Amino acid sequence: MPTESDLRYLGHRPFFTFFSNLLDARFFASEHSEPVRILEIGCGPGEFAHMLKQKYGNKVDIVAIDPGDNVALAQKNYSSNGVEYKQATVEDIKEDASFDVCLFSKSLHHCMPLHETVVKTHALLKQHGVCVAEELDRDQVNSKTATWFSDRLDLLRLGGLIFDKTPEEHEAQGDSEELCAHMFDVSKPGYDRLREFYKDHLVNEELHTLPIIMDELYKSFGEKNVKVASVIPFLHEFLIFLG
Ligand SMILES: C[S@@+](CC[C@H](N)C(=O)[O-])C[C@H]1O[C@@H](n2cnc3c(N)ncnc32)[C@H](O)[C@@H]1O
């Protein structure tokens, strides 16, 4: 049976593939003598930085920060991997113009205050540095896709391939029992289930929406320098979240 950690690795895989292709093309296509300095902002329990370090070893020098308690898990689980995990926000990082890459994996919409976070991130980058963010856009959810997904979710659950978590498992994994129940509510159309999920995640928790994030990126980096490199359905994350 897959462990929670295996599942979390699977959840990171699409962005990890994108991000390592970008590193390969930008830094490793020709001889690169210095390690690429990467700052991961909002690293949570630290898997993404760990995966990067496993793949690139001494070719990368990674600092991974998060103000939350999860970073203690990263320090405990990955103490010997060479990543410097710190309980911090970007404001605590004093080395301006010293990173080749600043990276956010599903964390920028959580960062308060957003304006100051983006301004400081820009300042932390070297002259030709790059900021990469994996983000959610709840307005991209359309009815057909949501119905396709909820039909499959219901089949998997009926077939016993998705397990209901115990209240203790919900608590340990930091997710909401109520939201999971909502996603499994067969009396509601798929579209309502997904909209409600995103509404809870972004609106109720007062997290930043994509248009607001894009606006801040445009202000700090300049509109012509900000690119949406790829748009993918984010549905695989639900399978992991729902167990
Ligand atoms: C959805 S989690 C993503 C965690 C991890 N990047 C991942 O992909 O599993 C969002 C993270 O952003 C962190 N966060 C919240 N406010 C932040 C801030 N001001 N600066 C950096 N990280 C922050 C949270 O503590 C949380 O770990």
CATH of the domain at 53: 3.40.50.150
Question: What is the per-residue pLDDT for 5?
Answer: 65
Nearest C-alpha to atom 4 of ligand 1 is from which residue?
Answer: 44
Report pLDDT for 165.
81
Q: Domain check: are 24 and 117 in the same one? A: yes
Local structure of 190: helix, strand or coil: helix
The alpha carbon of 42 and the centre of ligand 1 are apart by a number of angstroms equal to 4
pLDDT, averaged in runs of 10, over the chain (243 residues): 66 92 93 90 95 96 96 91 96 95 96 97 97 89 88 90 81 74 88 80 77 97 95 78 70
Q: What is the pLDDT of residue 174?
A: 64
**How many Å apart are CA 125 and CA 113, to the nearest integer?**
19
In terms of residue numbers, what domain contains 50? Answer: 7-134
Between CA 139 and CA 237 the distance in angstroms is 17
**Which of 111, 134, 157 represents a domain boundary (last residue)?**
134
Q: Output the pTM of the full model.
A: 0.89
- Domain boundary (76, 107, 134) is at 134
66 lines ligand 1 (CB under 6 A): yes
